[in-house]
Amino acid sequence: MPLRVWENLSPAGIVSVIVFECGVESSVFMGRNGLRHKSKAAISNKIYVGDCLTELGRLPDESVDLVFADPPYNLQLDGDLLRPNNTVVDGVHQDWDKFQSFAAYDEFCRQWLEACRRILKPNGAVWVIGSYHNIFRLGVALQDLGFWIQNDVIWRKTNPMPNFRGKRFTNAHETLIWAGREQTSRVTFNYEALKASNDDLQMRSDWLFPICSGPERLKDSTGRKAHPTQKPEALIHRILLASTSPDDVVLDPFFGTGTTGAVAKRLGRKWIGIERDTGYALDAQRRIDRVVPLGPDEIAPLPAKRTEPRVPFGTIVELGILEPGTRLVDERRRFRADVRADGTLALSGRNAVRGSIHRLGAEVQGKAACNGWTFWHFEAEGKLKPIDVLRQEARQQLGLVEKRPKVILTNK
C-alpha cells in the first residue's frame, strides 16, 4: 500500500504522524522530549521512528534472527573538507555523528549492542560496519559484552572517495564484524550457497563492491544525496544471503533510508527498522513500498549438507547404486580400491587391507582422518565423480528427497 501521511498539530504542540506501511496502520507521536511510538502493527515489516535505545527497549526478548547495524562513525570532523578546487565535500556533518568524547561514544555503543544482544535469538548474530574511526572500538565492545566473533570482512570499494589533502592513504575500504550472540550460538551460515555463487570457490572475507551511486542513490528535492552514508544494496544482499533464511527477522537499529529493509523484503526476509529522523524514515518507507518481493522458488536456499538425511555407504551398496566389485580411485588415480558386499573397501590386489571408506582413505594417505565421501571417486559418463554424489540418489530411492536425474555408471 502506498505511504500516506497526515500531520496534525495539537494545542500542546504534539505532531501526530499516521503511517500506512505494508498494509498495516501504525502511529508515531512526536513530542517536545523526543519521539514516542504506539503501534497496532505486528513487530516486523515496519519502521519504528524514535531513539534507537528507547525503541530497542520495547522489542521482545529473543525476537530477532539477525541485526545489521551501521552506527554513527564518530568521524570527529572539524570544519568543512575542501577539494583542490575549493569546493566543499558533501560529507557527514549531521548532529547524529557527533559525540562529546570517545567515552561518550563507547557508552552509547555498549548500550545499543547490549540491547541488540537481548532481543537476538539464542542462535542469532549481528553484523556491524564501520571505518577506522570506530570499528576497533565496536570490536572491543562486542567481545566485552559476550558476543562471539565469527569473521571480520573487508568491503573494498571500487570507487572510493579520494584523499583530497594528500596526507594519508585513500580510505578505500570499510570493515564489517560478524558475531554470534554468544560462543555457543549456532549461527546461520549458508556455506554451500555462497560457494556455488562464487564459481564453486569458498567465499573469501574480502568483498569488492562499489559505493552506492547512480540511480540507486536516493536524492532529496534539491538533487543532493538524501543520506550521507547510504550503503549499496549488493553489500546487504550478500550479508542476508550468507547469514539468514527466508522468513527470518532482520533488525536495523540505524535504518537511514532503508537499504536493509528494501533488500530484506526482496529476499523474503522480515525486517524491522529503527530511525530517529522522520525524513529518512519516510524516504525509507516509500523506497520499500516500491520493492517487489521475489517468489519462494527464487529465494529457496541451497540445502546445507549437514542438514540432509544421513546415508551410510553400506546403503549405497544395498540399494544397488554401486555394485560389489566396483573400482574406486582417488581424484589423481594414485590409489585404487574395490567395493565389497558388506559396504567396506579393499585395496586392489591387497584384499587383507580393508576398512570403511574413511578409514581406508586415511590409511593410504598416512593420515589420521579422511572424508571418504570426497576422497574416493567412481567413473561415470567418462569422468571421475566423488561417491558423495551417490548419496543424493540414495535419498531419492529412500523417499527422503524429491527425485532428480539418475547418475549413470559406465564401468566397474
pTM score over 0.85: no
Residues 6+ apart with CB under 8 A from 281: 47, 49, 255, 273, 275
Query: What is the rounded average pLDDT of the residues 99-121?
Result: 92
Average pLDDT over residues 305-330: 91
**52-75, pLDDT tens digit by residue?**
999 999 999 999 999 999 999 875
| Per-residue pLDDT at 87 exceeds 60 | no
pLDDT band, residue 78 (cuts 50/70/90): low
Instruction: Tell me which DSSP letter residue 324 carries.
Output: T
**Cα separation, 323 vs 135, whole angstroms:** 57
Q: How confident is the model at residue 409 (pLDDT cuts 50, 70, 90)?
A: low
Report the pLDDT value the prediction gives residue 98, as an integer from 0 to 100: 65
Provide the pLDDT for residue 16. 33
Q: How many Å apart are CA 101 and CA 107, to the nearest integer?
A: 10
Task: Write the single-letter amino acid at 214.
Answer: G
Answer whether residue 3 shows pLDDT above 70: no
pLDDT at 27: 36
Mean pLDDT of 292-305: 88
Query: Which of 377, 380, 296 has its CA nearest to residue 329?
Result: 377
From the CB of residue 146, how many other CB atoms can be counted at a distance below 10 Å? 14
Pick from 28-42, 201-215, 227-241, 363-377 the range whose average pLDDT is largest: 363-377
* 175-196: pLDDT as tens digits: 999 999 999 999 999 999 999 9
Instruction: Please compute the mean of the pLDDT values over residues 159-165 and round it to a whole number.
Output: 77
Task: State what percent of residues in the chain have pLDDT above 70.
Answer: 78
Lowest mean pLDDT among 27-31, 72-76, 281-285, 295-299: 27-31
- Pairing type for strands 120-130 and 173-180 reads antiparallel
CA distance to 252, 376, 384, per residue, from 328 (Å): 51, 6, 9
Residue 100 contacts by C-beta under 8 Å, 6 or more apart in sequence? none
Instruction: Compare 266 and 164 and report the one with higher pLDDT.
Output: 266
The rounded distance, in Å, linking the Cα atoms of 376 and 339 is 11
CA distances from 161 to 80, 168, 314 (A): 15, 13, 60
